[in-house]
Amino acid sequence: MIDWGLGFVKKVGYNLIKYLFNWYKVINFAVIKMKKSSGGQLYFREIRKKYGLKQTEISKMMGVSQTYYSLVESRKRVPSMDFVERLAGIYGLPIAVLLWGSITEGDVSKEKLTAYRELKPVIDSLIESVFFTKKEEEK
């Protein structure tokens, strides 16, 4: 078992996220993969709620109808890469953050499932602390 202590996370975490963000080809694949994912766009809803926005508000910011945005959140429509890029821009988040949260165990091969299960909580925590937790001086 790997020691996933805070020191390790701080040391490796930022470089890991930076590396993940450069996976543009993987990101494009992930958008296509969302169609088959069991989690998919539900993560879009979680982030929208973290920002305290309603579907009508975010859809206006995106320049799409509330109906279309709702269909994306409920996994009845697969968003284009442009949609994901605009959404990330509105939130001020890297695209990879939106897509990471959309990956589920069903998207991971059996050979890599153990590693995914160990890394997911660490990466989720790192993303939460870097992108969603206010720093002490901002409070």
What pLDDT is attached to residue 36? 47
User: What's the mean pLDDT when you consider all of the chain?
Assistant: 76
Is residue 100 within 8 Å of residue 127, measured between CB atoms? yes
Highest mean pLDDT pick, 1-15, 47-61, 111-125: 47-61
Q: Tell whether the model's pLDDT for residue 59 goes beyond 70.
A: yes
- Residue 29, C-beta contacts closer than 8 angstroms, at least 6 positions apart: none
Decide if pLDDT at 87 tops 90.
yes
Domains of the chain: 11-132 (1.10.260.40)
